[in-house]
Chains A and B, each alone.
Chain A
Amino acid sequence: MVEALTIVLAAGLTRGWRSSLAGVGAATAALAVVVAALGPALTLVPIDALRLVVGGLLLVFGLQWLRKAILRASGYKALHDEDEIFTRELRDAETAAHEERAGLDWYGFTLSFKGVFLEGLEVAFIVLTFGSTQQNIPLAAVGAAIAVVLVAVVGVLARAPLSRVPENSMKFAVGVMLTTFGIFWGAEGAGASWPGGDAMILGVLAFVLVLSFVSVVVLRRRRVVPVTA
């Protein structure tokens, strides 16, 4: 969401707020349709099948996030820099050709739409998966909506990309959580029973945390040790 705010700010400042906010509105409506359409359908799926699919998808997403976070923490990948992304988006938006469609600056509209929709799709996915496995999609949607409003309010107040948000640490935490729930639900959905029941989720969390920190330490050491021929 922080990344979406950066894109919307760049589009609004360079291409006009009307087109940019229209893009935000259209993307938000599209995301609401995705959640509203898939939400009720997911409640009809048997819980074990749902946990298998949801667990698998969460694991795939979680491992992607975790992989990037570990590579960033160990110095193999550049840290996410919102200021740099903002500068790049501003430069691109300033140099793009002006094309008007439906009374809107098309570049500003599509830039905001794509930024919010693509970033929001991950949020919608998390809302649907966590909400459906706990059989409370509205509550999960409310949680996501509060987070969106919070980021938007802070963005309006700051009128600058949220570069002070510890985004890299937050992404590490999200990767750990997605992987933890992915392992837990995926195994349950595949027919395994966890010793200790739901309490074992803390054990899985500890396992993923240790695995992640060990990976960071190993990669950091590998990076500083000079390679000899």
Chain B
Amino acid sequence: MMTNLVTMRAGELLAHGVGGRDDLPIPFTYAVTGAAMALVASFLALGLLWREPRLDPARAGRPLPAGVARVFDGPVVRGGLRVLGAVVTAYVVMAAVFGRDDALNPTAGVVYVLLWIGVPLLSVLVGPVWRLVSPLRSLHWLLSRVMGTRPEDGMAPLPPWLGYWPAALSLLAFVWLELVAPQNTTLPVLRTFFAAYLAVHLLAATYWGSGWFARGDGFEVFSSLAGRLSPLGRRTDGTLVLRNPLVGVAGTPVAPGLFAVVGVLLGSTAYDSMAGSPWWVSALQSGPFSAEVTGTLGLLGLVALVTAAFTAAAALSGRGTGRPPLEVGGELAHSIVPIVIGYVVAHYWSLLVLVGQQTVVQLSDPLGTGADWLGTGGRGVDPSLADPTLVALIQVTAVVTGHVLGVVLAHDRAIALLPRRRAVTGQIPLLVLMICYTVGGLTLLFAA
């Protein structure tokens, strides 16, 4: 479990075992204030927002100067990022293969904190970085060169109906590892998982071409979805622009299974929250099944609940469009992305701050030999950004901000999608769903 990773005592690393700290519950007044703000913002938006769709990913934004764009997209930056990704990956693989399997090994921190939380949040700031550094893409590119084929060309085109479903499955596998699998911070388990991950995705990309990664690699899809919230983005024609982040999210490519990806991300984070509550710990320990079975059921249950609730709300909202509910759901699923990111920030902020710093310290001694290769080995963990009052404030702000952005996005898409007569009333099911997500999230932060 994630909690196994957190070392609390500032400036001091544990010599053995693992430390653990969870956030304090947010104060009740914070939870109530956040919920009230979300509620008011939702209905204000319904009444006050624009009546014609405004978010146009094809035209919005201010293009970067041509020279800057050329550097960004040029071979030096692109090649440099690929090399950086490969070097960092090789370094971590070295720690995972040759390092000592103890709490000071950086691998688990790199995987569960820097890669899983850090990369998506970095993507929120600067855009979808993972696809530019992804070691899977680099390896596949190398393989293609060796075989004399173009990376984009597989043996068959990716069937359109597949959409984001492979990414949803790939993310589900990872969150299961993160939240349920026994011994999931030990090296043999991590090595096995990532060896399998590598094999599956390289095979799939060899068959379907490198387009696979944008639909199948969970890490890349998560980073790309988060990156849609970045002010740095691209128009539909590829022009690099600075823009309103809402336009970026509105431009999320619609494909089947997007709502499943969002459901896995939101449901699994909610499960992790719930798993910290004493009653769930009790259920895991003394329920009728083993902890792994109960944990799997709990995780799948919450993912299914979140996803089914979205599908139902989207179907209700989409009545009168004469289209199948899943299709309508796909067109609205992007509006949940800010809610997911807001909740991920809320839930993982202190983990990112504390274990993130600790991992940077541990990376300096990847093999457990007492080395200090990066010069970060002597650093302590500065807990000031994880101060309980600050954390509670960040949590509520993130959740409410995500909610408000989600409401605006849903509104803009709904007025484009729905017949004019139903444009406002048709949004109500989706709004109610978002309020449920947000109040549910705040409740978990308060009570679990």
Asked if A and B are interacting partners, one says no
